[in-house]
Structure 1
Amino acid sequence: MTRDLLIGVDAGTSVIKAVAFDLTGGQVAMTSRRNHYLTLPNGGVEQDMRRTWQDTVDVLRDLGEQVEGLGERALALSVTGQGDGCWLIDAEGVPIHDGWLWLDARAAAEAREIAESAGIDVIYRTTGSGVNVCQMRTHLTWIKRHEPELLERAETAMHCKDWLYFNLTGKRAADPTEAVFTFGDYRTRAYAEEVLEALGLADLRRLLPPIVDGAAEAHGLAAAAAAAT
């Protein structure tokens, strides 16, 4: 069968969508499901990581019901999702906590401290971005201070789209844009040790997965993901 379709998945804050396109960019079909998150009394906003993956599986299945032979016709699948946040998994790939969304505001004090610290000039000059409460760097600072036991169990820190990519391919990888403006150098598009040191997070460098530019590198669909979807 001809490989004549592209699939895009977008796990937004409120809706998870999957779209099939032909090779000219024309939309063939689209499915969506409501996303879910929990707002906590302390300003936290969390999402069940397993449910986010299952909802993604479900929208892909729904898409397959709309498009005959979708699996055999798909040339490639691209994934994106809500920005910022912090999603931690262990060495086995199992979530150790619900994912923190970009809406999570519990690290407001930590964000102010970083913004007023001596290292802010290095952070801004290198990453090209200011500090905000929604970012993984402030979330990790809060977790390190208040729930360090989570970091002891964690093997990898991800963003939402990285979590979905991991489930789809089995590869631990970071989207270059968020990885760079959080912990990297926008000139080299690589992690910057001086940024991690300025943030006081050099000891957590081990949590950051390799940066993978999806425009230049791709991984195949894992057998488990293919069977699930």
Structure 2
Amino acid sequence: MQSGQMFHIFHNEKDRFDKIDKVLRCKDWIFYKMTGQILTDISESIMTWGSPMTRKYDDEILNILNFGSMKKLQPEIIDSTKYVGKLTSDAAKRLDLLEATPIILAPVDVVCAGIGSGFVDSSKKLDVQS
């Protein structure tokens, strides 16, 4: 969920906000449904309040916005290049796949495009402006 959407719900739909356990973006929700794990990757976390420098949610930004309570709603940030989940039994049956099939929590599309273009070592830099 985008920061602006969360801001709106926080300030205008308090009853709805109070029912939220975790906030997931689309690919993280799919990963959750396949593995039962609530996680996000570094590239996705910076879409809300994650810091690419620390690879954690930025308390300073959350405090400036008076959003300290939002941090607990965010999924744990992992390095998706070093983590592989496993397909749950239930998901395997629904998808007609083998249980424990490795599932990767991939980065966002533009990061994947960079990887596919060969930007895979630390000596190369890629700046993507939105």
Same-fold call, TM cutoff 0.5: yes
Task: Indicate if the aligned counterparts of 1:185 and 1:191 stay in contact, CA closer than 8 A.
Answer: yes
Deviation at 1:174, TM superposition (A): 1.3
* Residue in 2 that maps onto 1:157: 23
**Structure 1: segments with no counterpart, 5+ residues:** 1-85, 87-135
More strand by share: 1
**Separation of aligned partners in 1, 2:14 and 2:63:** 18
Deviation at 1:181, TM superposition (A): 3.9
- The answer on 1:225 being equivalent to 2:75 is no
Deviation at 1:227, TM superposition (A): 0.7
- The answer on 1:167 being equivalent to 2:33 is yes
The amino acid across from 2:18 in the alignment is E
* Residue in 2 that maps onto 1:205: 71
**Separation of aligned partners in 2, 1:227 and 1:154:** 28
Superposed CA RMSD in Å reads 1.2
Give a deviation string over 1:155-199, Cα, whole Å, max 9, x none: 100100110000000000113212124202211211111111122
Q: 2:42 aligns with which of 158, 168, 176?
A: 176
- The answer on 1:140 being equivalent to 2:10 is no
Match of 1:211, SS? strand
Task: Indicate if the aligned counterparts of 1:184 and 1:195 stay in contact, CA closer than 8 A.
Answer: no
Instruction: Considering Cα pairs closer than 8 Å and 6+ residues apart, tell me whether 1 or 2 has the greater RCO.
Output: 2
Deviation at 1:145, TM superposition (A): 1.1
**Structure 2: segments with no counterpart, 5+ residues:** 96-130
**Separation of aligned partners in 1, 2:78 and 2:87:** 15
Post-superposition, which runs of at least 4 consecutive aligned residues in structure 1 deviate over 4 A?
none
TM-score w.r.t. the length of structure 1 is 0.40
Give a deviation string over 1:63-96, Cα, whole Å, max 9, x none: xxxxxxxxxxxxxxxxxxxxxxx2xxxxxxxxxx
TM-score w.r.t. the length of structure 2 is 0.68
**Separation of aligned partners in 2, 1:137 and 1:153:** 17
User: How many correspondences in the alignment?
Assistant: 95
The amino acid across from 2:37 in the alignment is K
**Separation of aligned partners in 2, 1:196 and 1:190:** 12
Give a deviation string over 1:202-223, Cα, whole Å, max 9, x none: 1121101101222111111111
The percentage of aligned residue pairs carrying the same residue is 26
**Separation of aligned partners in 2, 1:224 and 1:214:** 23
* Residue in 2 that maps onto 1:56: none
Deviation at 1:139, TM superposition (A): 0.9
**Separation of aligned partners in 2, 1:200 and 1:150:** 18
